[in-house]
Amino acid sequence: MSVTIRSDSRVFQPTTMIKFAWLRRAVVAVIGFTVLLIGLAMVVLPGPAVVVIPLALAILATEFVWARRLLEKARATVSRKGRKPKPLPEDIQVEP
């Protein structure tokens, strides 16, 4: 038994869809890793590495679970750091 899906007078077989899924995953991987390498280079070169690296992880997270977990961990760390300011050491006095 063969399953066919018609769309815009084209016939797509399930094997064709699997090939497109593999191709999409490969394209996302190439683009995501390229942006990630550019972001890592921006750590030592001038540029917004803090913006580019999470953007690369977001691109990779569309296809890869490990990137999604890493992005969620980074978001949690940033939100945790933003909420609680570190207390000043005892020996530093702040004048009003």
3 state SS of 52: helix
Q: Are 61 and 67 in contact (CB under 8 A)?
A: yes
Cβ contacts of 39 within 8 Å, gap of 6 or more? 49, 52, 53, 55, 56
Q: What is the pTM of this model?
A: 0.65
User: For every one of its 96 residues, what pLDDT tens digit does the chain have, with 9 covering 90 and above?
Assistant: 555 555 555 655 666 667 788 888 999 999 999 999 999 999 999 999 989 999 999 999 999 999 999 999 988 888 877 666 666 667 666 666
d(CA 43, CA 74): 16
Q: Are 60 and 67 in contact (CB under 8 A)?
A: yes
Residue 12: strand pairing partners:
5
d(CA 38, CA 33): 9
